[in-house]
């Protein structure tokens, strides 16, 4: 829990949306910002957005209250930065574990397994994403919009290649994301004692064949 958290590019990069004038200019500054970011992830992850306090963040970071405002404009701004970062991290982690996989059906299984593993290792950041629905709804919608769009593209592609049956790819994408999210919630956030591979295998069978009686499957 309370994973190493954010890998928000402290210097610049696609994450540095709102940083602007608040970007650190010295080594010391970068270190402090990093500490604040990690502390914020831990504080928000453990206590939730509203219970979390800026003073809690700065205490964890070993800094003074005012220092927070050297790097961020508001409580909500850090929160949003963490949500965006989580999206980037998640996609990257899944992509790494799926690339090289030729067919979509296998990719589905590996992707889900990777997702569950990732959530298990980043419970605090994952909670932040979920809570974003109520704290920064646009950030939350965007998080899943990006996922769904990429997912849909993969499905269209796989369908064209005949790897999967043609269907309504957008609805499929959202349905599959929902599956992952709830399996992640149940088997990663709420309890993580079952092997991720088992969960992924069970779900993969559902995703592949559906519920209809089909021959060949073993009993149980």
Partner DNA sequence: CCGAAACCTGAGTCAATATTCAACTTCAGA
Partner DNA sequence: TCTGAAGTTGAATATTGACTCAGGTTTCGG
Contact (CB, 8 A) for 35 and 63: yes
Residue 203: CB minimum distance to a copy of itself, A: 5
- Name which of residues 23 to 52 contact a copy of itself (CB under 8 A): 48-50
Q: Are 118 and 93 in contact (CB under 8 A)?
A: yes
Q: Rounding to the nearest 10 degrees, give the CA dihedral for residues 169, 172, 177, 178.
A: 150
When asked if residue 99 is in the footprint of a copy of itself (CB under 8 A), the reply is no
Alpha helices in the chain (DSSP H): 27-51, 54-61, 65-71, 75-98, 104-121, 123-135, 137-160, 169-184, 196-209
Site string for a copy of itself, 128-167 (x = CB under 8 A): --xx-xx------x------x------x--x---xxxxxx
Cα torsion angle, 64, 71, 136, 126, sign: negative
Provide, rounded to whole angstroms, the least separation between the CB of residue 185 and a copy of itself.
8
Least distance in Å: CB of 79 to DNA? Answer: 10
> Does residue 80 belong to the site contacting a copy of itself (CB under 8 A)?
no
Q: Does residue 13 bind a copy of itself (CB under 8 A)?
A: no
In the list a copy of itself, DNA, none, the entry touching 69 (Cβ below 5 to 8 angstroms by class) is DNA
């Amino acid at each position: 829990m309370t994973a190493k958290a954010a890998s928000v590019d402290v210097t610049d990069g696609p994450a540095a949306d709102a940083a602007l004038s608040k970007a650190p200019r010295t080594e010391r500054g970068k270190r402090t910002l990093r500490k604040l970011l990690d502390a914020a992830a831990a504080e928000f992850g453990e206590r939730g957005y509203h219970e979390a306090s800026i003073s809690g963040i700065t205490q964890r970071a070993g800094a003074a209250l005012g220092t927070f405002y050297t790097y961020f404009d508001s409580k909500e701004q850090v929160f949003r930065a963490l949500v965006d970062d989580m999206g980037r991290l998640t996609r990257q982690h899944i992509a790494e574990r799926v690339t090289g996989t030729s067919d979509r059906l296998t990719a589905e299984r590996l992707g889900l397994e990777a997702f569950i593993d990732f959530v298990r290792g980043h419970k605090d950041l994952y909670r932040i994403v979920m809570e974003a629905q109520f704290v920064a709804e646009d950030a939350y919608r965007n998080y899943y919009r990006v996922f769904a769009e990429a997912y849909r593209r993969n499905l269209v592609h796989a369908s064209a290649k005949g790897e999967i049956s043609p269907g309504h790819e957008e609805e499929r994408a959202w349905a599959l994301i929902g599956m992952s999210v709830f399996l992640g919630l149940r088997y990663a956030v709420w309890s993580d004692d079952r092997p991720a591979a088992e969960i992924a295998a069970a779900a993969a069978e559902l995703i592949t064949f559906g519920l209809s009686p089909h021959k060949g499957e073993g009993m149980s």
